[in-house]
Amino acid sequence: MRLENKTALITGAASGIGRETALLFAREGANVVCVDINDAAGQETVQMIQDDGGQVIYVHADISNAADCQNMVQAAEDSFGQLNILFNNAGIMHSADDDAINTEEDVWDLTMAINVKGVYLGCKYGIPALRRAGGGSIINTASFVALVGAATPQLAYTSSKGAVLSMTRELAVIHARENIRVNALCPGPLRTELLMKFLNTEAKKQRRLVHVPMGRFGEAKEMAYAALYLASDESSYVTGTEFMVDGGITAAYVTPE
């Protein structure tokens, strides 16, 4: 098993990429700390792992809150003795996110608090734990839109994911000599509730899909397998990357006439 004797903390574990990654990491031998603000769905993830024989705990946390982030890391160490993998995955894509003119300030602030500050706080409290464990892997969920921009305006989300990429690069450089690797997972458009709620018309879906060479939305499970590579020792010489898992969209992105 690729993650045997490792402990992984995954934010946003109640659904989508987070849930699929939690299930996969547990099957690969990791002790899993499932973190979310949706307690009912988070407990469902925990039950799925337990039913499969995995080791798991659930921690409620608002990742934009420092005390909650400190607590989730402490819970990981208290329950499993160490933290080896930190997957800063939780994020939002607000339905009212639009262009600069139409995006309200509260939507911008909320998006930045969760998508950017949440990653910073995860690292603020997670990195000391990784040091105590002798090193480890940090994976930050960014997005292809941080590189190419979105055809359907979502300015706060796109800007937040650009910040995650910049943060990932700097953290990778700072901590490389400490055996701590930091990479950004950059999904393409996915068939998850997060995106489907935003692309809520067939026209919006097709406007996004027209750019994807594979002609389909990705699946959360496909992102989980990418995260598994970044979490495992197989990626021991990989840090500071923008790991694109996007169906080819960034290789072929053009603006339709």
53-70 tens-digit pLDDT: 999 999 999 999 999 999
Residues 6+ apart with CB under 8 A from 63: 11, 35, 37, 69, 88, 90, 114, 117, 118, 121, 122
User: 134 in the Ramachandran plot: left (φ > 0), alpha (ψ -120 to 50) or beta?
Assistant: left
83-96 tens-digit pLDDT: 999 999 999 999 89
pTM: 0.95
Confidence band of 254 (pLDDT split at 50, 70, 90):
low
Spatial distance between the Cα atoms of 108 and 111, rounded to a whole number of angstroms = 5
Helix (H) or strand (E) holding 36: strand 31-36
Q: Which of 58, 120, 125, 157 is catalytic?
A: 157
Which of 78-92, 104-118, 136-150, 200-214 is the least confident region?
Answer: 200-214
Of 190, 148, 189, residue with least CA distance to 165: 148
Q: Would residue 157 show up in a list of annotated catalytic residues for this protein?
A: yes
pLDDT at 203: 84
- Go through the domains of the chain in sequence order and give each one's CATH number: 7-243 (3.40.50.720)
Indicate whether 151 pLDDT > 80: no
Reading across the β-sheet that carries 31-36, which strands appear in turn?
56-60, 31-36, 7-11, 85-88, 136-141, 180-187, 242-245
Confidence band of 206 (pLDDT split at 50, 70, 90):
confident
